[in-house]
Every structure is written in structure tokens, then in C-alpha cells.
Structure 1
Amino acid sequence: MAPKDILLALVVIGVWGMNFVVILVGLDGIPPMLLGALRFTLVAFPAVLLVKRPAVPWRWLIAYGSTISLGQFAFLFYAMANGMPAGLASLVLQSQAFFSLLFAAVLLGEKIKPVHLVGLLIAATGLAVIGQGGDGTMTMLGLGLTLMASVMWALGNIVTKKIGRVNLIGLIVWGNLVPPLPFLGLSLWLEGPAQIADALRHIGSHTLLALVYLAFVATLLGYGLWSRLLQRYSTGMVAPFSLLVPVVGLSSAVWLLDEHLTSAQWLGALLVMLGLGLNVLGLRLWNLVSGKDKSASKG
């Protein structure tokens, strides 16, 4: 990979890792469902007027927007508003990789390699350790909702696979026409007109900056650069960089929010990272070992 593209990958990782700190900043001034409505309105407009609609049937655009945008962030925002620390959220959300494997096996008939099962078991153990090893700052509700967010992300990955090769920016922009109205409906139901009006009336500069970051930096810039990398290089070369997202997420939460993990949670985090590493890099190792075995058998 060219040095400038490595730099772009690191920019994306930094942007996505910091995303979780910024979400908490936004939630400090706006309730979670209203934050979702405003974020995805900014993602879709005015970009939808400038970006060509991808050659994708509306049912798939709706499925994409309903899972990877509405479902994922409705659960994630509500989780972080209900006791899920930013650093742990950045880590636990990466369990989408394992849910994606399971859904691909069930819905698409893809086979799961043994190395992926090992990675899944290690990461699941890590999540159990995180859940049981807290000091009371993380709630089980927050953990459960974050896992549900990762499930929705994984379902969105399956939808993306079914869609096939398409302009990713166009898919993001047009797919994000879906979330604003459902988010607004959820906000009216869960938060109420009075809270919505009060939040909008007293919206501060830090909240506006958080919204700009979430919509334009984390979503449009982040996914735009990531899609460029995926178009230029193989998935196997680009995907390992995603392992750095929880590293940035955890470290930025410690540095900027003064979040602290217990010893047990750090152990759990290391286990989850090990499981993710096997998931991302394990297939390459598996193929390498299998190739050597075949060569040995021929000799």
C-alpha cells in the first residue's frame, strides 16, 4: 500500500475512533433519538441533491438505511445515553464482525472456517469478562444495547453484500434518506415534544460541532476515504486497519473523558482484540497453513 494511502487509512481510523467521544458530547446536549434524526438529516441533505442515486432498487436502499444506519445508531446512541462508556462502546461494537460471519453462514450459505470459530469464542469470552468485571460505571443495559447495535451493523453488511459492487458514497447518501423520519418518530415517542423543543431551544455550540463531526467527518469523509481504499486495494489489505478503531476509541476515552477500565475489563478488551485479530487475519494464516499442507502432501 502506498504511503499516502496508509496515511488516509490512519486518518479514517482516527476519525472513527474519536467518533464515540463525540457521540457522548452530542448526547450531553441532545437526547439520543433526536441526535440520530439530526445527524442523518445532515448526512442526506444537501448531499442527496449532489450525489447520483446508485443503481439499486429502493427495497435494498431501505434495507440498508434501516439496518446499518437506523438500527445500529438507534441502539448505540440509546446505549451510550444509558451507561455505556465511549471506550468500551468502540470495542464492543466491533463484535459486528462475528455476527456478520454467523449471518453470512445462515443467510448466504457461506462456510465458517475453524479459525473464525476460535476467534469468536475468544471474543465472546472477552465480552463476558467485560460484562462481569465492571465497577458499576457500565450498565448491563448499555452493554446489551451495544451488542444489538453490532447485530444491526452485521445485518447491514449482509444487505451490502446482496447489493454487490456499487458506489459506496451514493449508497450511504441515498440509504440515509431512510433514518431521519423514523428517528424523529422514536424521539416523539421516547423523548416527547417538550424535551425535543427544549433541546433545540438550548442547543449549544459544542452540540452543533458534534453533529457536524458525526455527519460530515465520521460518515461522509470517513466512509468516502474507506471506499476509496477498498476500490484500490484488496479487502484483506484494508480490513486489518479496522482493528485500530477500538485502540483509538479506548485511548481517546481515557484521555479526553477520564474513563477508566477495571483490570478485568482490560483483560476482556485484550481477549476481544485477540478474537478480532483472528477474525481479520486468521483466514490469511489458515490459507497459508493449508497451502503448506498441500505442498507437503504433494512432496
Structure 2
Amino acid sequence: MKPADICLAVTVAVIWGLAFVASRIALDEFSPALMTALRFAIAALPCLFVPRPKVSWPTLISISFTLFLGQFLAQAYGIAHGVPVGLTSVIVQSQALFTIGFAATVFGELPTRMQTVGIGIAVAGMVMICGTVGYDFSVGAFAVLMICPISFAIGNLLLRRAQGVRMFDLFAWLCLAAAVPLFAVTLAGDGPQPTWHALSHMSMTGLLCMLGLGGVSTSVAYWLWGRLLRDYTAAQVVPFALLVPFVGSAASSVAFGETFGPLRLAGMITVVGGIAVMLLSKRSQAIPKLA
């Protein structure tokens, strides 16, 4: 990769890591549904200037509901109900584990030996993390948070159905498809009056967090990431995502004084290590067709 593109990949990872901290701050003012709706409403503003990509509405909605709505709503709920930001950033990256598993089940893409080893390592780390659940946050919050990587993984696979379209246009319309139902969920769950009160009494800190989440972390960062994936192989680009949990954990430690017990810290490092083995190994092989 060119040095400039390496810097871009690192920048995207840093932006996504800091986004977890911005989400935690924004959730002091907004409900999980409203924060997620605002995030995608801001990121969908380019729809005013770019045409809808040549992707069917069912495909567009299915990708949006998994890759964006399901992933980020579960993430916001988990953070709002006490799951530490640093731990959340690690759980989100475990989507690589589920993506490989779903790809093997749906597309017959058998994981390589090294990917299998990586899956085993990551699962061991998740078991270690599960051993710490129930002390500083509830089992229910952790269960909802686990929807996040699963939804993320399904969205990754559905994204294959949108080939040959401009990434910036696609992601803008995916954001729009997520924002509309999220506002409906917000009005139904929070009520019109509390929703209006939260919007009308938004602080400058809340506004800056939402602009960062919607305009920078979602719109700009996803566009840059898609551009990198267009110009380079996934094996060259995707490993940079491993920086995200480290940035998220470090930023959370500075911003909120977040600390990790020995078992949880060991589990987080083990999960990231397993993901690294999976991402840095060769691509999975498809199951040979029988004659």
C-alpha cells in the first residue's frame, strides 16, 4: 500500500475507535434509538445530491437493517446500559468470527486451518469475557450487545449483493434506509414530547458528538474505507481494523477512567489475537462441488 493510503487506513481506525467514546458522551443526552437515528440522519444528507444506486429496495433495506440499524442500535443500547466502551469495541470486532462462520454455512467457504485456529482463540477469549459478565453490567445488556457483531456479519455478507456501485452513494442511501425506521422506533419508544425535548435542549457537546458520529465516523470514514477496499485487497486493508479496539480502549481509559480486571483484559487481548490470526491468514476455500 502507498504510504498515504496506510495513513488513511490508520486514520479511519482511529476515527472509529474514538467514535465509541463520542457515543458514550452522546448517550448522556439521547436515548439509544434517538442517538442512532440522528447519526444516520446526518450521514444520509448526501442523498440530497447523489442518486440512489442501482440496487433493489429489498436489497438496500436488508443491508441497511443489518449492517447499520441492527449493529449500531444494539451497540448504543449496550453502552447506555453499562457495558464499558473499551469492551464494546472489542465485541464489535468479533464480527470477523461470525462473518467467517456464516460464510462457511451459507456460501460453503470453508475456513483455512489458520482461520480455524483463530476462531478457536477468539472463542476462548469470548468465554473469558463472559466470565466477567454480571458484575459491572447486566447479562441482558451483554446479550443485546452480542446482536451487534452478528448483525454486522450478516450485513457484510449481504453487501456482496450490491456489486458494481459507487460506495459513497450506496452508504448514503443505506444510512437513509436506517434513519427513517429509527425515528419511528424513537417516537414509539420514547414518545414525541421527550424526543422533542432532547432535540430542543441539545448541548453543544451533544451536537459536536452527533456531527462527529454522523458526518465523520459514518459518512466520511465508511467512504474512505470503501475506497481503500476498492483499490487494495481485503487482506491488505481489513487488518487495520484491529487498531479500533486498542484506540477505543485507550480513549475510554483516558476519558472515563475505564479499567479492566485481569480476566477481562486477558479475554479482550485473546479475542483481538484470534481475530488477527483470522484476518492475516489466507482466504477461506469454497467447498469443492461433487461430480
Partner letter of residue 40 of structure 2? F
Q: Deviations over 1:23-45 (max 9, x none)?
A: 01110111110111111111112
Partner letter of residue 120 of structure 2? L
Equivalent position SS for 2:55: coil
Q: Is the 8 A contact 2:33 2:186 kept in 1?
A: yes
Matches within 5 A, 1:90-239: 90-133=89-132, 136-239=135-238
Alpha-carbon offset, residue 149 of structure 1: 0.8
1:272 aligns to what? 271
Partner letter of residue 17 of structure 1? G
Identity over aligned pairs, percent: 34
Partner letter of residue 94 of structure 2? S
Could you state the TM-score of these two structures normalised by the residue count of structure 1?
0.90
Partner letter of residue 22 of structure 1? A
Determine if the alignment matches structure 1 residue 40 to structure 2 residue 40. Answer: yes
Q: Distance in 1 between matches of 2:223 and 2:53?
A: 15
Equivalent position SS for 1:164: coil
1:29 aligns to what? 29
Equivalent position SS for 2:94: helix
1:78 aligns to what? 77
Partner letter of residue 15 of structure 1? I
Alpha-carbon offset, residue 179 of structure 1: 1.4
Equivalent position SS for 2:176: coil
Q: Is the 8 A contact 2:118 2:278 kept in 1?
A: yes
Q: Distance in 2 between matches of 1:137 and 1:24?
A: 16
Alpha-carbon offset, residue 140 of structure 1: 2.1
Instruction: Give the greater-gyration-radius structure (CA).
Output: 1
Q: Distance in 2 between matches of 1:265 and 1:124?
A: 14
Equivalent position SS for 1:84: coil
Partner letter of residue 10 of structure 1? V
Q: Distance in 2 between matches of 1:280 and 1:148?
A: 21
Q: Is the 8 A contact 1:82 1:141 kept in 2?
A: no
2:49 aligns to what? 50
Alpha-carbon offset, residue 144 of structure 1: 1.6
Q: Deviations over 1:228-248 (max 9, x none)?
A: 211221111111111111111
1:87 aligns to what? 86
Alpha-carbon offset, residue 143 of structure 1: 2.0
Equivalent position SS for 1:177: helix
Point out where structure 1 has 5 or more consecutive residues left out of the alignment: 288-299
Q: Distance in 1 between matches of 2:12 and 2:168?
A: 15
Partner letter of residue 77 of structure 2? Y
2:10 aligns to what? 10
Alpha-carbon offset, residue 114 of structure 1: 2.6
Q: Distance in 2 between matches of 1:176 and 1:258?
A: 32
Q: Deviations over 1:89-110 (max 9, x none)?
A: 1101111111111111222222
Q: Distance in 2 between matches of 1:56 and 1:274?
A: 36
1:292 aligns to what? none
Q: Is the 8 A contact 2:171 2:223 kept in 1?
A: no
Partner letter of residue 14 of structure 1? V
Give me the CA root mean square deviation: 1.7
Q: Is the 8 A contact 1:40 1:180 kept in 2?
A: yes
Equivalent position SS for 2:276: helix
Q: Is the 8 A contact 2:17 2:245 kept in 1?
A: yes
Q: Distance in 2 between matches of 1:162 and 1:114?
A: 28
Q: Deviations over 1:139-160 (max 9, x none)?
A: 3222222210111111110111
2:256 aligns to what? 257
Alpha-carbon offset, residue 134 of structure 1: 5.4
Partner letter of residue 159 of structure 2? T
Alpha-carbon offset, residue 135 of structure 1: 8.0
Q: Deviations over 1:104-136 (max 9, x none)?
A: 122222222232222112111111211213582
Partner letter of residue 27 of structure 1? L
Equivalent position SS for 2:110: coil
Q: Which moved more, 1:111-120 or 1:8-17?
A: 111-120
Point out where structure 2 has 5 or more consecutive residues left out of the alignment: 286-291
Runs (4 or more) in structure 1 with deviation over 3 Å come to none
